[in-house]
Structure 1
Amino acid sequence: MYILQFLTSLYGGYFAAGIGILMLATLGIAGITDIHTANGIKNVLSLFINITSGLVLLFSGKVEWPFAIILMIGFALGGYLGAKISQKFDSKKVKSFVILWGIILAIVFWIRGV
């Protein structure tokens, strides 16, 4: 589980697309079956991944600050609101939505050749 999470963290720090789905899958493999618990752990792990990769980019001198600030606000709001909203739904429905969304994104990225 640690190796999978480490690899997911490397991928997420570099590319980030789909990291939430990957981390939820890794946490599921680890035996964390409650989607709300897994989502909370995912958010904390994402925070550390983003801080680490952000510091690397910060010291590289390649940050486009106007875009970076907009992204930071969006990620913070999305993480907070997403967690709050998901708690209002049954955990099985949230898990089904996450799986369906992951499949849809995989198909779209595959069709686009991303």
Structure 2
Amino acid sequence: MDAVEALAIGAAAIAAGGINAVVGSGTLITFPTLLAFGYPPVLANVSNTLGLVPGTVSAAWGYRRELRGQLRRVLRFGSASLLGGLLGALLLLKLPESAFDTIVPVLILSACLLVLLQPRINRWTRERRAASALQREDGGLPMWCGVLGTGVYGGYFGAAQGVILMGLFGSFLQEDLQRLNAVKNVLASIVNGVAAVIFIAVAQIAWKVVLVIAVGATIGGLLGARVGRRLPPAVLRGVIITVGITAGVTLIVR
């Protein structure tokens, strides 16, 4: 890894860490960057997942005030994220690399669509919350299963898992959205963390890439938790969608 590559990956990691803290789609920045430097897709995904763990943890720490009083919720949904992340990571390692090459462009483009539709999802969430005062505190079994499924997705690839979680939270829970965003960061940390443990045990890893992404994502996660709410959401979505579509098309035609 030369200086130019390290700077480019580090800059992408800072952006991804900040985006993950606020939106939850940072993989759509770092993963295409690794592909652009010639890393094979599975190696890029594994190394990216490991590198982003400190960033998601720092984002969760940055939202620690909003986590107060939510221990029961975090433990309940955390069990689903732990199991889902484990299953997703095992799927990544067990399925052939050709399956990853086929599935990931679809996941990337789907994630871009989710990010594009996020304003509508947010409006629908607010309308649903305003119209119903009967939502359960924990969302019941459907919510737990939704978090489990999101964890499987996150352990396998992970882009926009935060968007999915926030959509689920808004649909099933009656709670302040900033407090829910704090829980989202914890659950993403659990998914990435358990996947990282599996990958360290059995997968090939580009450790220099992991180190660069870890440092950048940690900085970005702390910055995102502090100032991310002030950034224009349209700008963030535009960057994410542009990079994501480029990556998805590149994987399809390669």
Q: Same fold (TM over 0.5)?
A: yes
Structure 1 residues 50 and 84: CA distance shift in structure 2, 3 A = same
Amino acid at match of 2:184: K
Answering whether residue 195 of structure 2 is matched by residue 53 of structure 1, we say: yes
Looking at structure 2, the residues matched to 85 and 109 of structure 1 have their Cα atoms a distance apart, in angstroms, of 26
Is 1:66 equivalent to 2:208 in the alignment?
yes
Name the counterpart of 1:101: 237
Inter-CA distance 33–86: structure 2 relative to 1 (3 Å threshold): farther
Cα distance change on mapping 1:111 and 1:10 into 2, 3 Å = closer
Corresponding residue SS for 1:56: helix
Report how far residue 30 of structure 1 moved.
2.5
Against the structure 1 CA distance between its residues 70 and 80, is the aligned structure 2 distance closer, same or farther, given a 3 Å change threshold? same
Contact 1:32/1:38 (<8 A) preserved = no
1:81 matched to 2:223: yes
How well do the aligned residues superpose, as a CA RMSD in angstroms?
3.0
Name structure 2 gaps, 5 residues minimum. Answer: 1-142
TM-superposed CA distance for 1:24, in Å, is 1.4
CA–CA separation in structure 2 for the residues paired with 1:32 and 1:63: 41
Counterpart-to-counterpart distance in 2, 1:5 and 1:56: 20
CA distance in 2, matches of 1:109, 1:83: 26
Q: CA deviation at 1:37?
A: 1.0
Quick one: structure 1 residues 59 and 78, their matched pair in 2 at CA, closer, same or farther if it must change by over 3 Å? Answer: same
The offset of 1:110, in angstroms, is: 8.9
Q: How far apart in 1 are the matches of 2:173 and 2:160?
A: 20
- Normalised TM-score (structure 1): 0.72
Residue-by-residue CA offset, 1:12-42 (whole Å, 9 max, x unaligned): 1110111121121122122255332122111
Name the structure 1 match of 2:147: 5
Identity %: 26
Q: Which has the larger radius of gyration?
A: 2
* Partner of residue 43, structure 1: 185
In structure 2, the CA distance between the partners of 1:111 and 1:62, relative to structure 1 (3 Å rule), is closer
How many residues align? The count is 105
> Is 1:16 equivalent to 2:158 in the alignment?
yes
Asked whether the equivalents of residues 43 and 79 of structure 1 are also in contact (C-alpha less than 8 Å), the reply is no
Higher mean Cα deviation, 61-70 or 48-57?
61-70
Q: 1:74 to 1:19 in 2, by over 3 A?
A: farther
How far apart, CA to CA, are the structure 2 residues paired with 1:26 and 1:76? Answer: 26
TM-score, length-scaled by structure 2: 0.36
Bigger relative CO (Cα 8 Å, ≥ 6 apart): 2
Quote how far apart the aligned CAs of 1:56 are. 0.6
